[in-house]
Structure 1
Amino acid sequence: MTSYNKINGEHVSQSKTILQEILRKEFKYDGTIMSDWFGVYSTKESLEAGLNLEMPGPTRFRQAVQVIHAVQSNEVSEEVIDENVRYVLQLVSESLKAEIPNDVVESPNDDPAASELLRKLGNESIVLLKNESGILPLSKTSVKGQKNIAVIGPNVKVAQDSGGGSASMTTRYKITPWEGIQAKLKEGNDTVGLEYALGAFLDSTLPDVGEVLLNEEDEKGIVARFYKYPPDHKGDRILMETLNLSTSRVLLSDYSSDKLDPNNPLYYVDFTGTFIPDETAEYNFGTSCVGTAQIFVDDVLVVDNKTKQTKGDAYFLGMGTREERGSAYLEKGVPYKVRVEFGTAPTYTLESGLEDAGGLYFGIQIKSTPEAEISKAVKLAKEVDKVILIVGLSKECESEGFDRPNMDIPGYTSDLIEEVVKVNPNVIVVNQSGSPVSMPWAKKVPGLIQAWFGGSELGNSLADVLFGDYNPSGKLSMTFPKRLQDNPSYLNFGSTNGQVWYGEDVYVGYRYYEKVEVEPLFSFGYGLSYTTFELHGLEISNNGDSINLKIKLTNTGAIYGAEVIQIYIKQENPIIPRPKKELKDFGKISLEAGESGSIEFSISIKEATSYWNGLKHKWQSDKGIYKVLVGTSSDDIKLQGKFVTPRTFNWIGV
């Protein structure tokens, strides 16, 4: 897939240099090349560059009349068309081998082995960043004075399983941190008290309620009924389909029914579910859409985004309405019937430019102030032994089509953490994000976990680590800086008149922080364990093409665990400016308490030593002495060795 941007002034989707010289010839790629969505800017140039497929359909630059005219006027040769068609047909041919029927219905994988694998992946991805005074793991029973735990934060009862936009997938189920922790404590021999507080708001819009509403089987979810005609239709509305959904953020671009005219995306959907409040209070209801929508609570209209609509920019690539809100006073524990009546994009009263059915988002949240929620959380924190603060980002904060304006967690989350730590020092912060966030409170909390967006089993995986049923072994895949200004791209980020300068060059991530000696908050490759390891006995051999390494290590702690060994290479006295060291390989080894073992690596010398020579347009490996640095993070090197290359040479390809 080609990117949207230009490289050296030319769009990638029409660059012969990128698509032919590099992708086809150097990389030997023999598959289909397609554009990113709406990432084509020409007919002739993109065809001749070998962009085989324009996405999405219907095409904008390759309509029959355009291509036929280009061929008949000798602007584009038939051979160019044939070559592009061959790659598309090749894709079709390979896809047919999957033997997926045309009318297949998407279905979930309910094999228990799938859930087990997701939980294992979640466990292994979690990174333990701080564990002062052994505050972790927590106990499932009332020991060490731990009798009750408060779980506080906007991500406690929300399953932040993934980023937004194209990072999202439909899931069969999601386990929230609250559910995972509840289930874990039930495994204990006696009961540890568990309390909850929201603490802070996260998103600027109301949160997804797919995990909050109950469907008609009293299970988590929303019932969606698709009709051909609107609710006020005098006759039969013609029910087309009934679906159970796990989200209240719905896009309908690919919905189809044999009861609909394929050229007319006009239809109606009623979304229903039962809402049972956690506390007696006034609650906000809200929706934004491309189409029209109204929200009813026990058949009373609460939100009207139908008769009067205002443009917004929160969703739908800036084409939808602003979030319209209304409120209702609800009592704790009482079930309320929520119904959202939605009409698709043709009912929209504003300009959208969409040719499909559009979509809507709707949510529910207690009506309160940040100060009031922090106050409730602080009151609870005073009354418990341990506090787990589950915070971070969400699909709204990390999605496609925009960049985060800063590294801060939105809203009053940092204030919440600061105030809770003042009244209870036994705090574990769990951060969920796909990228670094500012942590001005990091030194004040004894326990800190980076949990990322953990997929369907995120709640269970997190509970496994918090309570010690899994010993964390994850490592940071990126550097966490102390502040936004420390980032390598800080001075270059963004475009000026459509031009972006990648001024950081090869000094990205840890390479930059080490070169300019800026101390990060947490270094690349960093991650703690509930046990300890000792590395020793580095052995290096060089056969001319590769270096072979063998490292011995011992689990010097009291429990089973795993360590990730990282191999960095550093050239001594380089003839050009180079990073202080570069990661070239890594591997994981698991050991019982007291057990010793070894791990081996074989690393290509040309790949380990080479850099791009822009003058020769080739990779270059310089003769000389190279250090092998073995560590458990980029700033924690345990062992060192050397190898020598006898000659300088150039190469191309992969």
Structure 2
Amino acid sequence: MYDNNRKIGNRNTKTHQAAARKIAAEGVVLLKNKVVDSTPVLPLNITKIKNILVLGPNADKKHGTGGGSSEVKSLYEVTPLAGLKAALGDNVSINVMRAKSSELSPIASDYVAGRHWTGTPAWNISYYAEQARKTLIEESWIVDSQFKPKKQLSPQHITMKAKIKPLASGIHHLHAEVQGDFQLKINNELVITYQEGISSKSALNYDISLEESEEYAFEIEYDGQKHFMLGWNAPGELFTSETDYLTAAKKADAVIYFGGLSHADDRESIDRSNMKLPNSQDEIIAKLLKVNKKTIIFLVAGSAVEMPWVEQANAIVWGWYGGMEAGNAFADVLTGKVNPSGKMPITLPVRLEDTAPIALNDYTAKESLYTEGVFIGYRWFEQQKIKPLFSFGHGLSFTQFDISNIKLSKNTVAHNDDIFVTATVKNIGTVRRRSGTTLPT
């Protein structure tokens, strides 16, 4: 700022945008891509595909304004759905649905008017030392109308509050699943009260008329060692029934499910309690895979998730949080404009128990001793002979390579010696692998 010769800078130029798009595309990892009907599922053959069904919580979700310190204030962010529409234009019909699980789901974030300072829709949560709620232990925030205690050793006494804004006027059918004692107030009026072992399950249902233009103060009090979830059926339902979305999936030339996590899950100060995809995504994915073999599972996430459906899936892509040009970059890969070259910088375990911190019971809130020693990360899996879901360094391409004539510069290596590996790599596939393009050979 004090340099009189400093050149004037630029921000958000076309060059910057192109760089963001290129970086995001090069980070995309193709985890799996099987042949179906004599052709690999990816890239999408847009000369033959006329109808694509798009589903999943990350299809039209922006991630840049969440996560705590990772929040950025970009001037725009292209969602996966927007990028796909821009890439396909009018040549392909895109049918968009929000699939609903057969299980109870928490009240969708679309209805939550209150925001965390990062911009994420959020409920405030307060932890108390006793049921009378006189001694406040901790205050935080939570994204969904559901709760599972950090530890199930002692009863939890929590209060959750949020401003809820209906999307349509009419009767809202509230329902809760509870293990413990539970009560719900709306605008300070008690509408649900339940005592475990005393109240009947019917007490967990309540119908209430709410207006679209109003905000309502929801307050939940919970006392127990297990969990609860508050959900509802609301007018102007956001979600498509299972029958409808599976029927559409059967008819589609291809299905793309943009699933994964969000900064409600991947964020600072609070760790994930498991590796499962939230909100019954696994159930929906498994059902889609049964009705359409050309279902592409595109995961947007920053940390590992379980994939109980991995054997049934023919195409899996890992996209990370791609930034302002994410949607365009994802579409570049899906349509074959860019040949994926990303490699996994982490090991994806089959289950959480396969990881060293959990297997060695070396993960606490206060200290971790890294008792596995040098066998950290992928080395732990090799030492323990544990087969991961996808290994560190895994990443496919739309073409195939033959690697031969591998040689080492030395047969023995002394301390501080350099050793060089040489090999002949030949593209034996039908796609030219070049940065930024996918072209026939």
For the aligned pair, the TM-score class normalised by the smaller chain equals: 0.5 to 0.7
Unaligned runs of 5+ in 2: 126-137, 144-157, 171-210, 216-232
> What TM-score do you get using the length of structure 1 for normalisation?
0.47
Name the structure 2 match of 1:454.
322
Q: How does 1:469-484 map to 2 (within 5 A)?
A: 469-484=337-352
Name the structure 2 match of 1:199.
99
Q: How does 1:308-387 map to 2 (within 5 A)?
A: 313-314=140-141, 322-329=161-168, 373-387=241-255
C-alpha deviation, 1:493, in angstroms? 3.9
Going from structure 1 to structure 2, the CA distance change for 1:445 and 1:366 (only over 3 Å counts) comes to: farther
Going from structure 1 to structure 2, the CA distance change for 1:392 and 1:327 (only over 3 Å counts) comes to: same
The amino acid that maps onto 1:527 is G
The answer (yes or no) to whether the contact 2:122–2:142 under 8 Å persists in 1 is no
Q: How far apart in 1 are the matches of 2:357 and 2:242?
A: 35
Name the structure 1 match of 2:221.
none
Q: How far apart in 2 are the matches of 1:367 and 1:157?
A: 21
Going from structure 1 to structure 2, the CA distance change for 1:147 and 1:592 (only over 3 Å counts) comes to: closer
Offset from partner CA, 1:464-500 (integer Å, 9 cap, x none): 111100000111111111111111111324328x443
The amino acid that maps onto 2:429 is G
> What TM-score do you get using the length of structure 2 for normalisation?
0.68
Going from structure 1 to structure 2, the CA distance change for 1:541 and 1:436 (only over 3 Å counts) comes to: same
Going from structure 1 to structure 2, the CA distance change for 1:324 and 1:521 (only over 3 Å counts) comes to: same
Going from structure 1 to structure 2, the CA distance change for 1:419 and 1:548 (only over 3 Å counts) comes to: closer
The answer (yes or no) to whether the contact 2:165–2:214 under 8 Å persists in 1 is no
The answer (yes or no) to whether the contact 1:370–1:412 under 8 Å persists in 2 is no
Offset from partner CA, 1:69-115 (integer Å, 9 cap, x none): xxxxxxxxxxxxxxxxxxxxxxxxxx967999xxxxxx992200111
Going from structure 1 to structure 2, the CA distance change for 1:400 and 1:375 (only over 3 Å counts) comes to: farther
Name the structure 2 match of 1:553.
425
Q: How does 1:129-528 map to 2 (within 5 A)?
A: 129-133=31-35, 134-141=40-47, 143=48, 146-161=49-64, 164-186=67-89, 191-200=91-100, 206-207=108-109, 250=117, 288=123, 313-314=140-141, 322-329=161-168, 373-490=241-358, 491-495=360-364, 498-528=366-396
The answer (yes or no) to whether the contact 2:349–2:355 under 8 Å persists in 1 is yes
Please, what is the CA RMSD of the aligned residues? 4.1
Give 3-state SS (helix, strand or coil) of 2:289's partner. Answer: helix
Name the structure 2 match of 1:65.
none
Q: How far apart in 2 are the matches of 1:328 and 1:162?
A: 23
Q: Which has the higher contact order (CA 8 A, sep 6+)?
A: 2
The answer (yes or no) to whether the contact 2:66–2:263 under 8 Å persists in 1 is yes
Give 3-state SS (helix, strand or coil) of 2:420's partner. Answer: strand
Q: How does 1:50-69 map to 2 (within 5 A)?
A: none
The answer (yes or no) to whether the contact 1:163–1:434 under 8 Å persists in 2 is no
C-alpha deviation, 1:163, in angstroms? 6.2
The amino acid that maps onto 2:94 is L
The answer (yes or no) to whether the contact 1:108–1:172 under 8 Å persists in 2 is no
Q: How far apart in 2 are the matches of 1:591 and 1:135?
A: 15
Q: How far apart in 1 are the matches of 2:75 and 2:105?
A: 24
Paired-residue identity, %:
30
The answer (yes or no) to whether the contact 2:166–2:212 under 8 Å persists in 1 is no
The answer (yes or no) to whether the contact 2:333–2:340 under 8 Å persists in 1 is yes
Give 3-state SS (helix, strand or coil) of 1:459's partner. Answer: helix
Q: Which has the larger radius of gyration?
A: 1
Name the structure 2 match of 1:622.
none
Count residues in correspondence: 345
C-alpha deviation, 1:525, in angstroms? 0.3
Give 3-state SS (helix, strand or coil) of 1:448's partner. Answer: strand
Offset from partner CA, 1:296-328 (integer Å, 9 cap, x none): xxxxxxxxxxxxxxx963269xx9962232424
C-alpha deviation, 1:524, in angstroms? 0.7
Going from structure 1 to structure 2, the CA distance change for 1:248 and 1:157 (only over 3 Å counts) comes to: farther
Q: How does 1:2-81 map to 2 (within 5 A)?
A: none
Q: How far apart in 2 are the matches of 1:175 and 1:108?
A: 21
Give 3-state SS (helix, strand or coil) of 2:17's partner. Answer: helix
C-alpha deviation, 1:287, in angstroms? 6.2
